[in-house]
Amino acid sequence: MKVEYINPFIEASQSVLKQMTGVEAKLKKVFLKTSPYDSDSVVCILGVTGKIRGQVLLSMSHESALKVASTMMGGIELTALDDVAKSAVAELSNMILGNTATILYNRGIKIEITPPSIVVGEKIQISLEKVKTICIPLSLGDGVELSIDVAAEES
């Protein structure tokens, strides 16, 4: 996938994370993931159609999800990944993809996105067929890490 398609995901992630958590998300080295891969235990999966077609997965550990959700809730300390916490993480993924779609649209690339499915579990392994998965790892400090996996291609 072209860099011009990936950069908006990075820009949107950093912008939305700053807005929602107040923290500057530090971009780590972007890399290609080989399918299947072991995943973190909390994954938001969103579909993308249009000029780019595929799936985008926002994943993080249980602990990172709790910290991110707590920050988004104004610092209320959440201790369990309940519906409220999952809803916050889902909204984060929704906003990141919505923002990405807007950036792409302004550059003449039209995509449509689906709402997220939130998957929580243990020993999760993810397979994405026939497309390369580009992993965008982001660090929010204080041990909070998340990654945005873009498994999509130009259609």
User: Does 61 contact a second copy by CB under 8 A?
Assistant: no
User: Does 8 contact a second copy by CB under 8 A?
Assistant: no
Which of 102, 96, 81, 4 is closest to 45 using CA atoms? Answer: 96
User: Does 53 contact a second copy by CB under 8 A?
Assistant: yes
Distance of CA 42 to the CA centre of its chain: 11
Per CB under 8 A, contacts with a second copy among 81-100 are 83, 86-87, 90, 94
Here the tokens at position 108 are 């003449």
Which of 138, 136, 132 is closest to 151 using CA atoms? Answer: 132
Instruction: Note whether 56 and 152 are within 8 A (CB).
Output: yes
User: Does 43 contact a second copy by CB under 8 A?
Assistant: yes
Member of 49, 61, 70, 139 binding a second copy (CB under 8 A): 49
Member of 12, 46, 104, 146 binding a second copy (CB under 8 A): 46
User: Does 125 contact a second copy by CB under 8 A?
Assistant: yes
Q: How far apart are CA 128 and CA 37, in angstroms?
A: 9
With CB under 8 A, what is the number of residues at the site for a second copy?
Answer: 39
Per CB under 8 A, contacts with a second copy among 131-150 are 131
Q: How far apart are CA 148 and CA 146, in angstroms?
A: 7
What is the β-pairing status of strands 52-60 and 144-154?
A: antiparallel
Return residues touching a second copy (CB under 8 A): 36, 39, 43, 45-50, 53-55, 57, 83, 86-87, 90, 94, 112-131, 151
